[in-house]
Amino acid sequence: MVSSRARALTAGLALATFAAPAPLLAAPYIIEGSDTFAMTSRTGARYRVHVHVPRRPAPPGGFPVLYLLDGDMTFASAVETAQRLARFGRDEGQCEGIVVAIGYPDEDYMLARRSFDYTPEGPPDAVAHPTGGAPAFRRFLAGDLMPRITGRYRIDTARQTLWGHSFGALFVLDTLLGEPELFRNYVATSPSLWFGARSLLGGLAGLPARLAAAGPRTLHLEVGEREQDSLRARSQAMAMTHRELADRLAAVENLEVHSRVYSGESHGGTLLPGLGQAVRVAFQEARP
């Protein structure tokens, strides 16, 4: 015979089973005010571009713009940082701006794609993936993506910033040396100088003339304290370290150089503080 207590327990279990909430359906994470679209370069390379635009109307001169490399990894953090600084950093001159993050449609191939897109032409180095695609990627950036952003949104073309980390930072430096007119501010976090020092040294000679035509530019060059020794060892044959590069660039007329060492950070650990610094640089109120 089944006791009344057992009947009550069975009924309670049945009720709990039917009352249990249904599992949540998986859904993509969406940032309000953002847009994502695909683009294909003239060489057939495919990209995924993320854009975030502030809610309020653009100021009379348009929004400043921050372009991010490794965009699939950095977009959300940059947008959140930009929103918080715009809200709580106005006393420090922070303003709102547009974030444009350049990523790839297939994450499985991201490492190979970035190794190619972000590295300058030159003799092959000890890298597992093809390199030397920076000129083609820069043509896509300057000839396809930037005109599309300018045509679609109200931007201040005189206040555009480029940020990258590691190979991405190497691309930032390569762009500054080769086509400084593309951006006003350049933020290079932990550039892979062990790879590209020869190319950078080659580009330094023509930089003063290019800056004379482009006008004043600003470079923020950053590195982690803990990566200095390994960077120095890998760069020894090319006679190039973060400090040496900063000193040489600081001597160039029309180039304002800010050098920063992140205390206690390794190569990978500089990404987030470097990204935050890029947001601060990009979204400062315009100087009178």
Instruction: Specify if 9 maps to a domain.
Output: no
Q: Under the phi-then-psi rule, with left for phi > 0, alpha for psi from -120 to 50, and beta for the rest, what region is 181?
A: alpha
CA-nearest of 71, 184, 195 to 122 is 195
According to the model, what pLDDT value does residue 194 have? 80
Structure-model confidence comparison of residues 13 and 76, the more confident one: 76
Active-site choice (50, 96, 166, 222): 166
Active-site choice (41, 244, 258, 267): 267
Instruction: Specify if 20 maps to a domain.
Output: no
Structure-model confidence comparison of residues 129 and 187, the more confident one: 187
Query: What phi and psi, each to the nearest 5 degrees, are found at residue 114?
Result: -70, -35
| Residue range(s) defining the domain that contains residue 39 | 30-282
227 is catalytic: yes
> What is the total count of domains within the chain?
1
Active-site choice (222, 227, 235, 265): 227
Instruction: Specify if 19 maps to a domain.
Output: no
Lookup: tokens for 21:
């909430």
Contact call for residues 279 and 82 (beta carbons, < 8 A): yes
Instruction: Specify if 10 maps to a domain.
Output: no
According to the model, what pLDDT value does residue 236 have? 46
90: Cβ contacts below 8 Å, ≥ 6 apart: none
41 is catalytic: no
166 is catalytic: yes
Contact call for residues 239 and 39 (beta carbons, < 8 A): no
Do the bridges between strand 46-52 and strand 98-103 make them parallel or antiparallel, or are there none, so unpaired?
antiparallel
What is the b/e burial string over 213-237, where b = at least 16 CB atoms within 10 angstroms of the residue's CB? ebeebbbbbbbbebbeeebbebbee
Instruction: Specify if 4 maps to a domain.
Output: no
Where residue 180 sits, what CATH number does that domain have?
Answer: 3.40.50.1820
Instruction: Specify if 16 maps to a domain.
Output: no
pLDDT at 156 over 90: yes
Instruction: Specify if 36 maps to a domain.
Output: yes
pLDDT at 231 over 60: no
Rounded Cα–Cα distance for residues 75 and 69 (Å): 9
pLDDT at 108 over 70: no
Instruction: Specify if 132 maps to a domain.
Output: yes
